[in-house]
Amino acid sequence: MLEKLFSLGYSKTFAERYYELWGERALAIAEAMEKPLPRCFRVNTLRIEVPKLTKLLNKKGFQFRRVPWAREGFCLTREPFSITSTPEYLSGLLYIQEASSMYPPVALEPKPGETVADMAAAPGGKTSYLAQLMENEGIIYAFDVGEERLKETRLNLSRLGVTNIVLIHSSSLHIDELGVEFDKILLDAPCTGSGTIHKNPERKANRTMDDVKFCQGLQMKLLEKGLSVLRKGGTLVYSTCSLEPEENEFVIQWVLDNFDVELLPLRYGEPALTRPFGIELSEEIAKARRFYPDRHGTSGFFVAKIKKL
């Protein structure tokens, strides 16, 4: 079993960790990540209604299935030519987005008129979905440190007709300097990306436990900042595209131990791990959710919904 993980290119450290976490299933997860994911898209309801766009695409020979957790989300089952060359794509009627990354905005449930923060916004997929769910009403403060990525974000938001976003070229570790109290916050946190091997195969071998620990430290700092500017009764959705419990369950356990919060249940995905590596975590952690390539046909993904008490 470990030999098979080695043969796929995983380092000894991570092959052994995954076997300890999932047993024989670790191989099914690893093999599923060798295959490309289906191309998925989100209908941009700021510009067109879902049935109208699906009809237009059907006429051109595109076929797709619904993403269970996103009313506006679809994954292509037949793509006669690249959907990104269609007038529908070019005019911002749809946005290419991986199915699992549609879930954090849906889980956050932002409403028109609310004050929302997206703490790591580029290239704008989740940010634009938040704006769509808010019907362009209210305000989203969207942070990112990468200048080039922010340029791409600006172009995406413009193409999609998003008008309720303030883009901020800064780390969201400075979010408290705005003096704003937020109703909802999305933190799709910087992470090791070990759930995205299908597009980053080099991560099988070149990640180390130091990378995991570095990301965990940053994730905790970002969460602490986010919770400090969230209003009482407000919600923060935390997500990563990492498989590592240190970036997921352990971070959420730390939040439960150190802040006056509760976890809210989520409907989709598998319950998060409550005994990773034999370490007993709060049973509450099972309310957070994991998405796996072998079961859900997505990247490896983690989502938790936190309410500030």
Q: Which residues are annotated as a binding site for S-adenosyl-L-methionine?
A: 120-126, 144, 188
Burial 180-203 (b: 16+ CB within 10 A, else e): eebbbbbbbbbbbbbbbbbebeeb
Hey, which residues are catalytic here? 241
Which residues, 6 or more positions from 99, have their beta carbon under 8 angstroms from its beta carbon? 37, 38, 40, 67, 70, 73, 75, 296, 297, 298
Q: Output the known binding site.
A: 120-126, 144, 188
> Do residues 240 and 120 touch, judged by C-beta distance below 8 A?
no
Q: Are strands 301-308 and 73-78 parallel, antiparallel or unpaired?
A: unpaired
